[in-house]
Amino acid sequence: MGQDDSALQEFIHGRRDHLFRSAFLLCGDRDEADDLVQTALLKVILAWRRLERIDSVEAFARRTLVNVFIASRRRMWRREQPHGELPEHAAPTVDMEAALAVQAALARLPVKQRAVLVLRFWEDLSVEATADVLGMRPGTVRSHASRGIAALRAYVPRGIGLLEREEA
């Protein structure tokens, strides 16, 4: 096995779970998130040798994941979110119920607002980096973030204090 293969395996092994969680935040469904990540990683594999020379693999994988997600939502009904398909929990705990509440709130956001929130606040990207990934202007990213947070505030009413800073 070549050095290329080792590095590729190491990347996939090390980043797949993180990408899966990002994908889950984007789409809200475990199986679909797994599909999205597989698709993104297959594209990483196909581009691997070029990536090693010219780009950050991490950035490419992140960008690809978001693009695959947005493209999937352009198809047919998938501009909308399935409902009633949140992960099932046999015995919800406090954390589980909180998780479900946030997942439900995220699922109600338009696709690009959700993508902005995930990139800005889960991936910790700057406004400029988020704009670069999504092919938007920074002002548009700020606008999406502001609206997304406002919507989260509406859907998660007790979060008002928590969400005030970014909206300012």
Shortest CB 115 distance to another protein, Å: 12
Q: How many other CB atoms are found less than 10 A from the CB of residue 162?
A: 12
Q: Which is nearer to another protein, 53 or 124 (CB)?
A: 124
CA distance 33 to 25: 8
The torsion defined by the Cα of 144, 135, 75 and 45, in degrees rounded to 10, comes to -130
120 DSSP assignment:
I
Question: Does the footprint of another protein cover residue 143 (CB under 8 A)?
Answer: no
First to last CA, the chain: 53
Question: Does the footprint of another protein cover residue 142 (CB under 8 A)?
Answer: no
CA distance 165 to 156: 16
Interacting positions 27-46 with another protein (CB under 8 A): 30-39, 41-46
Q: Which is nearer to another protein, 64 or 131 (CB)?
A: 64
Shortest CB 164 distance to another protein, Å: 6
Per-residue mark of binding to another protein, 103-132 (x: CB under 8 A)? x--xxxxxx-----xx-xxx-x--------
Interacting positions 85-104 with another protein (CB under 8 A): 87, 89, 92, 94-103
CA distance 152 to 76: 26
Question: Does the footprint of another protein cover residue 53 (CB under 8 A)?
Answer: no
CB-CB contact of 145 with 117 (8 Å): yes
Question: Does the footprint of another protein cover residue 61 (CB under 8 A)?
Answer: no
Among 51-59, 83-91, 125-133, 136-144, which window interacts with another protein (CB under 8 A)?
83-91
Q: Which amino acid is at 130?
A: T
For another protein, the binding residue among 77, 88, 90, 91 (CB under 8 A) is: 77
Shortest CB 137 distance to another protein, Å: 21
Q: How many other CB atoms are found less than 10 A from the CB of residue 12?
A: 16
